[in-house]
Amino acid sequence: MVRLATQRVRGIIGTIGEPHDIRAAIFMSIEPAFWYSDSFVLQEHFNYVRPDARRSTFATDLLAYGRQCADELGIDFVCGVLSTERTEAKCRLYRRVMPKIGEYYQYRPEKKPRNDDLLHLSRTPAANRVAAE
């Protein structure tokens, strides 16, 4: 993914700071809007500000940069918060900058599978059986 941006193929990395002292960064890539669509969006993958720079406007500045890139490309800029830490504060920041278009929800099972168990979809119940319960 990073190669897409460093080679300017389908991605963009914006930074704030000097090359030897990067204080904040945003990573975005051009992706299909939805699996069923022919349109594309500029999708934010991360907007990171170093802890020692978090009382700055860097996060907002990087979102403004994302909007500017979307304007230049003529495609929608899609970003959001998918986190379990300081989630509401991050959501307030994004709501100040752009309109909200949805929400994500996450169910987290108590028992975590071993890595080799992750691809065994045959262990999952049939959808019609679950719906009937």
Q: Which residues contact 28 (CB under 8 A, 6 or more apart)?
A: 5, 11, 12, 13, 14, 42, 43, 44, 45, 66, 69, 77, 79
Domain covering 2-132: architecture: 3-Layer(aba) Sandwich (3.40)
Mean pLDDT of the chain: 86
pLDDT of res. 117: 59
- Place 6 in a pLDDT band, splitting at 50, 70 and 90: confident
Q: What is the pLDDT of residues 26-76, one digit of tens each?
A: 999 999 988 888 899 999 999 999 999 999 999 999 999 999 999 999 999
Q: Could you tell me the sign of the dihedral formed by the alpha carbons of 22, 46, 99, 105, in that order?
A: negative
Q: What is the pLDDT of residues 66-109, one digit of tens each?
A: 999 999 999 999 998 888 888 888 889 899 999 988 887 878 78
Q: What is the residue extent of each domain of the chain?
A: 2-132
pLDDT of res. 2: 81
Chain-centre distance for alpha carbon 106 = 15
pLDDT of res. 104: 78
Rg (CA), the chain: 19
pLDDT of res. 22: 96
**28 vs 133: CA distance, rounded Å:** 42
From first CA to last CA, the distance across the chain in angstroms is: 41
- Per the structure block, which two tokens stand in for 110? 């108590």
**62 vs 70: CA distance, rounded Å:** 12
Tell me the angle at which helices 58-73 and 87-97 cross, rounded to the nearest 10 degrees. 50
